């Protein structure tokens, strides 16, 4: 599983909360946390100031309450909690799997289980709502699907095709 970890574990960037217009980036790499901030100012003396970059080890980040507060203020508590987990070595390998692999796993779940899985996270909701998921569902679970129906499914959407033609017939 360690091969699923790239050099960069997580990255997020955003404008900070008002009234400032500053821009921030957080990068969690395998061995360090990088916090970059750009001061945005309309004043002449503030123009051209280079970004500020802090680099520290995971252990140092775990003890830096000031930087943790900044991360929480800019990106929210959920991102801070996720960053702290990464720094502790608590990796979410399931989140790192490519969509193609997750779709293959979903193939083995029933539709009721897929519906429950879609409630777990935004990623699973997106994946369980994707055209790829519904195409796989129609092609593998719907008796009577023919190649002639593929054009219809591509035009009206695979999910709509499932609920229009197959679900009503009692196929599950």
- Distance in angstroms (rounded) separating the CA atoms of residues 53 and 50: 9
- Report residue 152's pLDDT band, with 50, 70 and 90 as the boundaries: confident
0.75 surpassed by pTM = no
Q: What is the CATH number of the domain that holds 101?
A: 1.20.1280
Domain final position from 47, 72, 95: 95
Same domain, 6 and 91: yes
- Report residue 31's pLDDT band, with 50, 70 and 90 as the boundaries: very high
Domain final position from 42, 69, 95: 95
Domain final position from 95, 127, 149: 95
Grouping H, G, I as helix, E, B as strand and the rest as coil, residue 166 is helix
Distances in Å between the alpha carbon of 79 and those of 34, 73, 86, 157?
A: 14, 10, 11, 34
Overall domain count for the chain: 2
What number is the average pLDDT over the span 94-102?
A: 83
What number is the average pLDDT over the span 133-145?
A: 86
- Distance in angstroms (rounded) separating the CA atoms of residues 99 and 135: 14
- Distance in angstroms (rounded) separating the CA atoms of residues 110 and 113: 5
More confident residue, 80 or 50: 80
Q: What is residue 4's predicted lDDT score, i.e. its pLDDT?
A: 54
CA 26, 28, 29, 33 torsion: positive or negative?
positive
């Amino acid at each position: 599983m360690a091969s699923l970890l790239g050099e960069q574990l997580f990255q997020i960037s955003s404008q900070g909360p008002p009234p400032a217009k500053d821009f921030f980036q957080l990068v969690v790499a395998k061995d360090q946390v990088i916090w970059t901030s750009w001061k945005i100012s309309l004043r002449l003396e503030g123009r051209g100031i280079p970004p500020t970059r802090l680099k520290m080890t995971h252990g140092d980040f775990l003890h830096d309450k000031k930087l943790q507060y900044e991360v929480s203020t800019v990106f929210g508590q959920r991102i801070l909690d996720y960053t702290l987990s990464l720094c502790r070595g608590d990796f979410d390998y399931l989140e790192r799997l490519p969509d193609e692999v997750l779709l293959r796993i979903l193939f083995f779940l029933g539709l009721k289980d897929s519906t429950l899985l879609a409630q777990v996270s935004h990623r699973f909701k997106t994946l369980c709502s994707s055209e790829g998921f519904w195409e796989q569902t129609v092609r593998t679970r719907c008796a009577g699907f023919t190649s002639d129906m593929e054009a219809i499914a591509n035009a009206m959407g695979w999910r709509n095709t499932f609920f229009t033609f197959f679900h009503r017939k009692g196929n599950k």
